[in-house]
Structure 1
Amino acid sequence: MNPDQTHPQNPNDQRHAKQLSLPSSALPEIPGYQPLRLLGQGAYGRVWLAVDLNTRRPVAIKQFLHGDRQNLEALGREIQLLAKMSAGRNIVQVLKVGWDQSPPFYVMEYMENGSLEDWLQQDQDIPIKDVVRLVREIAEGLSFAHGKGILHCDLKPANVLLDHSRQARLADFGQARLAGDQASSLGTLFYMSPDQADLQSTPDATWDVYSLGAVAYRLLVGQPPYRSEQSAQSLKSAKTVPEQLSTYRRMIQETRRPRLHHQRRGVDKQLAHIVDRCLSANANDRFQNVEQVLVALDSRDQSRTRRPLYLVGLAGPVLLLLLMLMFSSRSRNVAVEQSEQSVVQRAMESNRFAAQYAARTLEAELVNLFRVVEDESQREELRSHMILCREAASRDLSLQSTQVDRAREIEKLKRLDERLQLERYLQRRIDVLAVRRGPAASLVNSLFVNEGSGVNWGFVFADPEEGKSANSPVGQNFAYRSYF
């Protein structure tokens, strides 16, 4: 069963389509154009590839072979809708109409790369960046059409054509309806929403939103949502169109929402959520128009652009610790030098060898202490806690603003769950140091962490009782300190 299957025709329609499908042995004569070959045919007629004899430009000509009143009305409606969208960048353009010809026809742009369905038949693994681009281009085309008061009502890969650069262009508005039109319009199985499959329903923009989500799902997964051998067989078993539509609605409303797109490599949570919301069985839970889909895509792009900034935010505290280590190293060298000089002087007065031993012992203790600082600054768990604190502070606090009560913001920071988790982590680390670091542990009396701008986020003592009596530096800015 082709994934682009439309709903079954009744016997009369089938006989009519069969007659139209009989092969044509001769190219038609169309004034001003030279037909080259048949591109396709359907219920209304045939589409030919032709050349404009004046410009030598390749064009597509849709020729209506049965000029009865119903077909002519359908032709007229489709041409009028396409004419209203003549300025749409993502919509196939009508170039000429031959009303007075027999049979009547209209000329439109020729899309040399065929349809999106053709591409999917050739390549099931379209890159994610191309999927997002195509979904955006289709949404922009729908947005333009909706702005003109036109609902497509039959969006599917076969009705999305690709120009020379493979940009999406909407085509085939044969099932389209004007906004406010009360006449129902059936789309294609597995692409139309369950509410569109109700013959009593009124056309709505959310129909096209659902179909857009179904096309996006097909691009990501390779098959439309809800399609399986079992579901296809259930629909095929229906004896009448109303029975089939009822089965289709029930299938979508009662079956678990499709999740295969979440498993596609490279699909981020925001993109998966956009597809999920488009495919909501309840129309009220979908995006209410395609403009909202475009806004969601823009928001996703902005989030991906900001992602490197988060990495910079992660590097900030690490760089701070490295700077502190560098300045502390310089202080250590000075301290060691001064200690050695002092010891040497005393050794000259008493015992030179004892003084040298004391100096080496002090140096070893300082080296051990700074090794502790360096090791702690490189722990991944510390970085993770710093990232969580930064995100929570950005979301819930305004410490950098001059328009807020700073004391109140500091109190909120002290109660922030992510910051408390950071302090609990620091307390665990200082306890571990007391057990594992040997002689250097006695020198580690406290641990504190400042974020990139100098604001203190955590402060703990080796002795918890000492911490209770000390004034908390949390929320204070220490950027003025020389070590910072």
Structure 2
Amino acid sequence: MPAAHDPAAITADGETLRQDVSAIERSQSLSRLSGTAPGVAPGYDIVRCLGEGSFGSVWLATETRTGRQVAIKFYTHQHGLDWSLLSREVEKLAVLYTSRNIVGLLDVGWDRDPPYFVMEYLEQGPLSRRLAAGALPAAEAVRIARDMLSALVHAHNSGILHCDLKPANILIDSGGATRLGDFGQSRLSTEQTPALGTLYYMAPEQAVLDGVPDARWDVYALGALLYHMLTGVPPYRTPENEQRLQAANSLEERLATYRRILSESPQPGAHRRRPGVDSRLADLVDSCLQRDPLKRLSNAQVALDLLEERDNVLAKRPLIALGIIGPLLFLATLVAVAARAIPKAEKAAESSLLDRALATDLLTVDILAKSVQQEFDIRQKELEDITDRLIKSVDGKSHLRDDLKDFLGGWTRTVSERLKSQQRTEDDSIFVVDASGLQVYRTPHDETVGQNFAYRDYFHGLGRELPPGQASEVRPRKTSGISLAYRSQSSKEYKVSVAVPIWNTQRTEVLGVIARSIPLSDLLTQWESSIAKTASNSRDRFLALVDMRESPAYLLDHPWMTEQESRDLEDEKLKERLVLSQEQREAVEKLIPSSRYDDPIARTDERYAGPWLAAFAPVGKTGWYAIVQERRSSAVGPVQNLRQVFVQYGAGALVAMTAVFALLGTLLWRASR
């Protein structure tokens, strides 16, 4: 804080001082030397002096490693320097480094003699240099004011008040963008320490030695800055007022004189006569320059909002002319524009809907595939956990236990109850075959008990079904897995079995196979209901499974396969209709969602004719692929509805708009008079 009786603590020419008079003289004498920098900044090559002030000097330098130009601010006199000034400015710049409207802090030399900090170099220098040539165009002044308000909003939201906004503290880069700098006088919003700013930019309640920092100080300074940019001089600055201030003998007297000047002078009005200054902009300046802080805008955000509101109002002014001329032009071109725009809009909307639908289908099919694989893994693990309990050892020899029916009966009931409670698909059957392929147990019991199924893939795991009479030498599988799909002779549905070998105690011989069969259509039921809910018709969106292990690939599950027509077909005839073409197989294998997928069943049933949206995902290592299909016409249905709305209401809207525009044109014409 400046000394209480230091007459040079604050000047009328726009410089805020922080040293006593002797320190200023020493600084100025040093600056007149041979152009040598007052200190060394490791990693930087000093180029030339950019400016000097009461704190010391600012020098242009080049970063040694990158060649980037920077500005280095040296605090020249440690003995006369208020060290809080350096720390305060560095602290605030570090907090505000994310703002594009505030000078960026790059480096600090706390322990150097003299101390310094490094900031980004802005090539066009301070705004005060531009204003020395006179006022700025209103549009440019508003742009700079908006940048400064954005900087102040960022600072205030970070709990920092600048307290010394003025043209000398606003720097311009090579592209004309402005940055707010010099936070040496800044205060935290919670601080009670006074901070003197610069005459003609300082609010009257700030021009005291015991003022409490307030966001409205920065609002006043913003108004003074904007007034200066619009008129070429800051508010209240006249030769007479300059003489009054220079005649003051102490800081207290100077501040009191400044307050009297503000209270006795009429409200500045030169800005209202400048080209490009509308009433809203002039009112904004006046609201910022209110001498009574209670009548002044409360913070920078309010001022920024008013500036944005002004922009919106100015943007609407051409609508007055358009309201008169526009209806005629609009009505003349409406049909031509609609003829070109509506199809494009429909195409864009359709493309967007297709992308969203395919993304949803892809996510759904991925979840489905993982869920199916998880379901099989769980069922397989449950079988593996009980295989050791299915054997009995006598005299070192193992065989299937005699009470297999009782033991598995209880286990099966427990599993069934758990599946029901979890709303999961129940097993169609659980059965055991011995090492020769003879079925020795099945629940529910039927006539297949006692038959030989050594030809089934679930028994031998060879990846194919063998002719029933040629499987006498086949041995049981040695690894757990999922069988090939096979068609049930009773239900005519495709099933798979999760099969697990039953080893002897020494694990040297497979004594049999335990398996649990599941109809594929039943397996997918627990997910199909949620898939179908998103479609108006169950045939518009559904799940399917494809077995890619065989060539050609064929469908394992499809809604058509639950219909009577498919049940009446013999195995070979049915499989012919389930086969995928080579093109369809390639589409599935690529795993790329398709917006024009052809359903293989369309060859048999025209209800499944495409095109379809389809997404694909492999089901673990089973060799199966899950498909989520969605009818393309259903996915883009909203676009078709939109087209109907255009046709139905287009004529009526044209008539209504003609009447509205005619009325609007009349009203605007009368208002313009």
Scaled by the length of structure 2, the TM-score of the pair is 0.46
User: What is the alpha-carbon distance in structure 2 between the residues aligned to residue 452 and residue 131 of structure 1?
Assistant: 37
Corresponding position: 1:17 with 2:20: no
Structure 2 CA distance for partners of 1:95 and 1:317, relative to 1, 3 Å: closer
Aligned to 1:58: 69
Number of equivalences: 326
Q: Deviations over 1:458-481 (max 9, x none)?
A: 9xxxxxxxxxxxxxxxxxxxxxxx
C-alpha separation in 2, matches of 1:197 and 1:99: 31
- Alignment match, 2:92: 81
Measured in 1, the distance between the counterparts of 2:220 and 2:286 equals 10
Preserved contact between residue 139 and residue 276 of structure 2 (Cα < 8 Å): no
Matches of 1:240 and 1:307, distance apart in 2: 52
For 2:64 and 2:302, the matched residues in 1 are separated by 44
* Contact 1:44–1:71 under 8 Å retained in 2: no
Alpha-carbon contact 1:3-1:224 (below 8 Å) kept: no
Task: Check conservation: 1:8, 1:241, Cα contact below 8 A.
Answer: no
Instruction: Tell me which residue corresponds to 2:47.
Output: 36
Structure 2 residue aligned with 1:214, among 224, 238, 243?
224
One-letter amino acid matched to 2:23: H
Q: CA deviation at 1:180?
A: 1.7
Q: Aligned in 2, Cα 1:309/1:105: closer, same or farther, shift over 3 Å?
A: same
State the Cα distance separating 1:452 from its structure 2 match.
Answer: 4.4
Supply the AA of the counterpart residue of 2:163: C
- State the partner residue of 2:304: 294
Q: Which moved more, 1:163-172 or 1:65-74?
A: 65-74
The residue correspondences of 1:54-453 to structure 2 (distance < 5 A) are 54-68=65-79, 70-121=81-132, 123-315=133-325, 452=661
The Cα of 1:236 is off from its aligned counterpart by 1.0
State the one-letter code of the partner of 1:39: L
1:162 deviates by 0.5
How far is the alpha carbon of 1:156 from its aligned partner? 0.4
Q: Which amino acid aligns with 1:130?
A: E
1:129 shift after superposition: 1.1
| C-alpha separation in 1, matches of 2:177 and 2:326 | 42
Amino acid in the other structure paired with 2:153 = S
Q: Deviation at 1:140?
A: 0.6
Percent identical: 42
Q: Distance in 2 between matches of 1:19 and 1:456?
A: 72
Q: 1:301 to 1:217 in 2, by over 3 A?
A: same
Q: CA deviation at 1:67?
A: 2.2
The alignment status of 1:5 with 2:6, answered yes or no, reads no
* Structure having the larger proportion of residues in helix: 1
- Distance apart, 1:317 and its partner CA: 9.6
- Take 1:275 and 1:33, find their aligned partners in 2: how far apart are those partners? 42
Name the CA distance, whole Å, in 1 between partners of 2:127 and 2:264. Answer: 30
User: Over aligned residue pairs, what C-alpha RMSD do you find?
Assistant: 2.6
Mapped partners of 1:47, 1:138: distance in 2: 22
Return the offset for 1:309: 1.5
The answer to whether the Cα contact below 8 Å between 1:131 and 1:216 also exists between their aligned partners in 2 is yes
- The alpha carbon displacement at 1:312 in A equals 2.8
* Partners of 1:95 and 1:264 in 2: CA distance: 40
Give unpaired runs (5+ residues) of structure 2. Answer: 1-9, 330-658, 668-673
Equivalent position SS for 1:47: strand
Q: Secondary structure at the match of 2:58?
A: strand
State the partner residue of 1:403: none
Q: Report if the CA contact (8 A) 1:451-1:457 is conserved.
A: no
Amino acid across the alignment from 2:239 = E
Q: Give, in whole Å, the separation in 2 of the partners of 1:204 and 1:68.
A: 31
Structure 1: distance between partners of 2:93 and 2:660: 59
Cα drift, residue 247 of structure 1: 1.2
Does the 8 A contact of 2:136 with 2:232 survive in 1? no
Secondary structure of the 2:179 match is strand
Q: Does structure 1 conserve the Cα–Cα contact (< 8 Å) formed by 2:287 and 2:295?
A: yes
Give 1:104 shift.
Answer: 1.5
Task: Flag the structure with larger Rg.
Answer: 2
Query: Aligned equivalents of 1:237 and 1:33: distance in 2?
Result: 45
What's the offset of the Cα at 1:69?
8.2
Cα distance in 1 between the residues matched to 2:664 and 2:104: 60
For 1:42, the aligned partner's letter is G
TM-score (normalizing by structure 1) = 0.63
Q: 1:2 to 1:64 in 2, by over 3 A?
A: closer
**C-alpha distance 177-259 of structure 1, shift in aligned 2 (>3 A):** same
User: What CA distance in whole angstroms lies between the structure 1 residues aligned with 2:42 and 2:265?
Assistant: 53
| Structure 2 CA distance for aligned equivalents of residues 146 and 132 of structure 1 | 20
Query: How many Å separate the matches in 2 of 1:266 and 1:67?
Result: 48
Mapped contact 2:61–2:71 kept (Cα < 8 A): yes
Whole-Å separation in 2 of the counterparts to 1:228 and 1:168: 28
Query: Structure 1's 309 and 457: CA in aligned 2 closer, same or farther, altered over 3 A?
Result: closer
In the TM superposition, residue 44 of structure 1 has moved relative to its aligned partner by: 2.1
Amino acid at match of 2:14: Q
SS at match of 1:38: strand
